[in-house]
């Protein structure tokens, strides 16, 4: 781990320089993982008109080699930008890309592209047929609100489907379904897959099947008979800049989606991450039979900072996603390949952290770390009582009851990216409340002390962890990945995730500390803690030893 100026990450995906936003077309093909992403080759800002598909390949989802851009805005149907989209593995194994082009006339249209040479193991070159666009702008959709085609899937009737976002009739955030016999002529289904009336526009729709509750394997999009399989619909809502998902039933005849447990409007659904991520996209990893999620984590420093450092935007570390035992929520967990980066380890068993305790975890460099903790609360009865209106705004509750505000059970958790004098630190913590005869667990990432630098967005993030902590014997886990400017946390076994961007001044010299703390009245036990220093992955730099399918 060397010094990484300006928050440059060591094992999160970023191009060598310049701007990136949403992930596009992630896939596993022929022993190789591909990631495409929204890329501006001309600078560190979004750059209207310039968006291209950056392209990298990996044998392990950890180390990446950068290739030339896969798509560039060079054709009449994408002259003003190649925007987000998806990959579909066609029968026979050849992949296709569906993406949004901003046409020479400034209209959003959907295009297709194929590998120039399907036997090139890296799929370096992509061809855009001249018959594009395959889906022109519909008459009832404004020119700049029609985008982000999903991975396509085959129905039992042998027709392809894709989902695409549109603002229909100027007001409704719709997810439209198009069907095709041949992947070339596409026809819109009269009914949308889903409509979110309160969300002006949704983006980047992702519909995917999940295995039975508690089963961690992923499912591909193969047509299935029967209605046993649940599906997840994820939408990115422009108004709130958040990714929402619902678990529900997809009807493959009417091509509509009904949330099972949530309301119709996506802004009332659960969030994939309660921190700062957007435009996520998943793919089925046939190599390991799992569903893997990518998502963009934007910078939260100023645009001037981004221009000065020459880059902006990272992707989250890829996560495995599956349906929780409760059948209602997703669980997310860093893919197991992260273990290949683990180097130095510190372990603890049965450490009691008393009220007011701040115990340093010595022995791992705190700028690149993977920390797993299992907390055990000896006496839940000491929890503060809960006021029902707090349910409405957990993020605000995390602001009012920050890491230094004493409570009954908690706040307890980790201080990461901390300077030795604790002037700078990012707190990731839980606070337990009593609500009638149940307990509620609040999870927060508090950035208010994350840096002494001015001009940085430093909100508290927060959400409840949907689990019965009493039934779990007062035990709750926390995992946090620290990578210079990224703090990704997984509460309650990945039921609640919070990703934050931080820019501590002290860490410019590479030295950062890690602590366990407890500001509750009662003691908290660290039943187990494992902290690993993580090595620097090879991410889009150099070219040795990268491709190991
Ligand atoms: C979010 C998004 C997409 C669009 C792309 C443009 O990922 O706004 O809707 O295709 O970025 O860069």
What is the helix (H) or strand (E) element at residue 357, kind and residue range?
A: strand 357-360
What number is the average pLDDT over the span 435-453?
95
Q: Is the pLDDT of residue 431 over 70?
A: yes
Residues lining ligand 1, CB < 6 A?
Answer: 21-22, 38, 51, 83-84, 100, 147-148, 203-204, 279
> How far apart are the C-alpha atoms of 289 and 227, rounded to whole Å?
21
What is the sign of the dihedral through the CA atoms of 27, 40, 369 and 373?
A: negative
Q: Determine contact, residues 546/63, Cβ cutoff 8 Å.
A: yes
> How far apart are the C-alpha atoms of 337 and 339, rounded to whole Å?
5
Ligand 1 mean position to 109 CA, how many Å? 13
pLDDT tens, residue by residue, 25-55: 999 999 999 999 999 999 999 988 899 999 9
Quote the percentage of the chain above a pLDDT of 70: 97
> What is the residue with the minimal CA distance to atom 6 of ligand 1?
83
Q: Determine contact, residues 497/340, Cβ cutoff 8 Å.
A: no
Ligand 1 mean position to 156 CA, how many Å? 31
Which of 38, 78, 242, 295 is the best mutation target for the ligand 1 pocket, counting ligand atoms within 8 Å of the beta carbon and taking the most? 38
Q: Decide: residue 306, CB within 10 A, 0-12 exposed, 13-18 middle, 19+ buried.
A: buried
Q: What is the atom index within ligand 1 of the atom nearest the CA of 203?
A: 9
Q: What is the atom index within ligand 1 of the atom nearest the CA of 51?
A: 12
What number is the average pLDDT over the span 475-486?
98
> How far apart are the C-alpha atoms of 350 and 39, rounded to whole Å?
47
- The complex scores an ipTM of 0.95
> How far apart are the C-alpha atoms of 196 and 183, rounded to whole Å?
27
User: Going by C-beta distance under 8 Å and a sequence separation of 6 or more, which residues neighbour residue 269?
Assistant: 244, 245, 246, 259, 262, 263
Nearest residue to 145 via CA among 85, 190, 201, 84: 201
What number is the average pLDDT over the span 391-415?
96
pLDDT range class, residue 454, cuts 50, 70, 90: confident
Ligand 1 mean position to 399 CA, how many Å? 30
Which of 18, 22, 146 is the best mutation target for the ligand 1 pocket, counting ligand atoms within 8 Å of the beta carbon and taking the most? 22
Q: Is the pLDDT of residue 123 over 60?
A: yes
pLDDT tens, residue by residue, 235-294: 999 999 999 999 999 999 999 999 998 888 999 999 999 999 999 999 999 999 999 999
CA atoms within 13 A on the CB side of 381: 1
pLDDT range class, residue 542, cuts 50, 70, 90: low
Ligand 1 mean position to 83 CA, how many Å? 6
What number is the average pLDDT over the span 154-161?
96
Q: Is the pLDDT of residue 209 over 90?
A: yes
Q: Determine contact, residues 353/412, Cβ cutoff 8 Å.
A: yes
Tokens of 169: 């009739």
pLDDT range class, residue 545, cuts 50, 70, 90: very low
pLDDT range class, residue 543, cuts 50, 70, 90: low
**What is the pLDDT at residue 544?**
46
Tokens of 530: 């494992």
User: ∠ CA 16-17-23 to the nearest 5 degrees?
Assistant: 80
Q: Which residues pair with 86 in a beta bridge?
A: 98
> How far apart are the C-alpha atoms of 190 and 187, rounded to whole Å?
9
> How far apart are the C-alpha atoms of 394 and 74, rounded to whole Å?
46
pTM of the predicted structure, to 2 decimals: 0.97
User: Going by C-beta distance under 8 Å and a sequence separation of 6 or more, which residues neighbour residue 376?
Assistant: 473, 474, 475, 524, 525, 526, 527
Ligand 1 mean position to 238 CA, how many Å? 10
User: Going by C-beta distance under 8 Å and a sequence separation of 6 or more, which residues neighbour residue 251?
Assistant: 257, 258
What number is the average pLDDT over the span 395-423?
97
Q: Which residues pair with 321 in a beta bridge?
A: 291, 332
b/e sequence 507-524, b meaning 16+ C-beta within 10 Å: beebebbbbbbbbbbbbb
> What is the residue with the minimal CA distance to atom 7 of ligand 1?
22
**What is the pLDDT at residue 226?**
60
CA atoms within 13 A on the CB side of 507: 33
Q: Determine contact, residues 8/526, Cβ cutoff 8 Å.
A: no
Ligand 1 mean position to 84 CA, how many Å? 6
User: Going by C-beta distance under 8 Å and a sequence separation of 6 or more, which residues neighbour residue 255?
Assistant: 161, 177, 179, 189, 191, 193
> What is the residue with the minimal CA distance to atom 12 of ligand 1?
83
Q: What is the atom index within ligand 1 of the atom nearest the CA of 279?
A: 7
**What is the pLDDT at residue 412?**
98
What percent helix, strand, coil does the chain show, rounded to 5? 5, 45, 45
**What is the pLDDT at residue 376?**
98
Q: Determine contact, residues 366/424, Cβ cutoff 8 Å.
A: no
**What is the pLDDT at residue 58?**
97
Q: What is the atom index within ligand 1 of the atom nearest the CA of 238?
A: 8
> How far apart are the C-alpha atoms of 342 and 368, rounded to whole Å?
10
What number is the average pLDDT over the span 452-472?
95
Q: What is the atom index within ligand 1 of the atom nearest the CA of 147?
A: 10
What is the helix (H) or strand (E) element at residue 306, kind and residue range?
A: helix 303-309
Which of 73, 84, 276 is the best mutation target for the ligand 1 pocket, counting ligand atoms within 8 Å of the beta carbon and taking the most? 84
Mean of all residue pLDDT scores within the chain: 95
Q: Is the pLDDT of residue 3 over 50?
A: no
Tokens of 405: 């505000």
Q: Which residues pair with 57 in a beta bridge?
A: 34, 65
pLDDT tens, residue by residue, 82-98: 999 999 999 999 999 99
**What is the pLDDT at residue 4?**
45
Instruction: Calculate Rg over the CA atoms of the chain.
Output: 23
**What is the pLDDT at residue 249?**
94
> How far apart are the C-alpha atoms of 447 and 320, rounded to whole Å?
26
- 3-class DSSP state for residue 515? strand
Q: Determine contact, residues 506/471, Cβ cutoff 8 Å.
A: no
Cis upstream peptide for 314 (omega within 30°): no
> How far apart are the C-alpha atoms of 58 and 11, rounded to whole Å?
13
What is the helix (H) or strand (E) element at residue 400, kind and residue range?
A: helix 394-400
Nearest residue to 253 via CA among 317, 311, 326, 179: 179
Ligand 1 mean position to 20 CA, how many Å? 10
Which of 48, 85, 167, 204 is the best mutation target for the ligand 1 pocket, counting ligand atoms within 8 Å of the beta carbon and taking the most? 204
> What is the residue with the minimal CA distance to atom 9 of ligand 1?
203
């Amino acid at each position: 781990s060397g010094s990484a100026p300006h928050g440059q990450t060591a094992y999160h995906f970023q191009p060598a320089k310049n701007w990136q936003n949403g992930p596009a077309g992630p896939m596993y093909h022929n022993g190789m993982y591909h990631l495409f992403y929204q890329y501006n080759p001309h600078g560190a800002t979004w750059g209207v008109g310039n968006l291209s598909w950056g392209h990298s390949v990996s044998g392990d989802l950890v180390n990446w080699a950068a290739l030339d851009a896969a798509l560039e805005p060079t054709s009449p149907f994408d002259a003003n930008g190649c925007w987000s989209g998806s990959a579909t593995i066609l029968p026979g194994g050849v992949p296709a890309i569906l993406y949004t082009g901003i046409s020479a006339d400034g209209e959003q249209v959907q295009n297709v592209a194929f590998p120039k040479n399907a036997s090139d193991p890296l799929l370096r070159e992509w061809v855009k047929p001249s018959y594009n666009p395959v889906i022109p702008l519909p008459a009832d959709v404004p020119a700049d609100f029609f985008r982000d085609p999903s991975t396509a899937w085959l129905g039992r009737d042998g027709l392809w489907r894709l989902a695409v976002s549109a603002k229909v009739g100027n007001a409704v955030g719709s997810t439209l379904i198009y069907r095709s016999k041949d992947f070339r002529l596409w026809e819109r289904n009269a009914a949308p897959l889903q409509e979110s009336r309160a969300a002006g526009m949704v983006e980047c729709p992702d519909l995917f099947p999940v295995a039975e509750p508690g089963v961690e394997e992923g499912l591909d999009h193969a047509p299935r008979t029967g209605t046993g399989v649940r599906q997840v619909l994820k939408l990115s809502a422009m108004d709130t800049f958040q990714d929402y998902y619902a678990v529900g039933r997809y009807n493959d005849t009417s091509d509509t989606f009904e949330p099972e447990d949530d309301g119709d409007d996506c802004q009332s659904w659960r969030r994939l991450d309660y921190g700062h991520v957007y435009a996520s996209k998943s793919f089925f990893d046939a190599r390991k039979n799992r569903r893997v999620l990518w998502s963009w984590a934007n910078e939260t420093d100023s645009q001037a900072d981004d221009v000065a450092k020459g880059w902006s935007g990272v992707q989250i570390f890829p996560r495995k996603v599956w349906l929780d035992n409760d059948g209602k929520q997703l669980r997310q967990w860093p893919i197991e390949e992260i273990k290949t980066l683990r180097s130095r380890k510190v372990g603890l068993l049965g450490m009691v952290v008393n009220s007011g305790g701040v115990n340093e975890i010595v022995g791992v460099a705190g700028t690149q770390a993977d920390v797993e903790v299992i907390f055990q609360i000896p006496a839940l009865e000491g929890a503060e009582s809960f006021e029902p209106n707090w349910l409405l705004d957990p993020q605000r509750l995390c602001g009012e009851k920050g890491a230094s505000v004493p409570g009954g059970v908690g706040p307890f958790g980790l201080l990461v990216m901390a300077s030795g004098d604790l002037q700078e630190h990012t707190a990731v913590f839980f606070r337990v409340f009593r609500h009638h005869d149940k307990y509620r667990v609040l999870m927060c990432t508090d950035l208010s002390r994350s840096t002494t630098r001015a001009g940085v967005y430093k909100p508290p993030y927060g959400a409840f962890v949907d689990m019965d902590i009493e039934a779990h014997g007062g035990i709750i886990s926390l995992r946090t990945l620290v990578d210079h400017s990224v703090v990704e946390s997984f509460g309650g076994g990945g039921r609640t995730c919070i990703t934050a961007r931080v820019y501590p001044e002290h860490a410019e010299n590479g030295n950062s500390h890690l602590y366990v703390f407890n500001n509750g009245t009662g003691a908290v036990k660290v039943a187990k803690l494992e902290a690993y220093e993580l090595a620097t992955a090879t991410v889009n730099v150099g070219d040795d030893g990268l491709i190991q399918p």
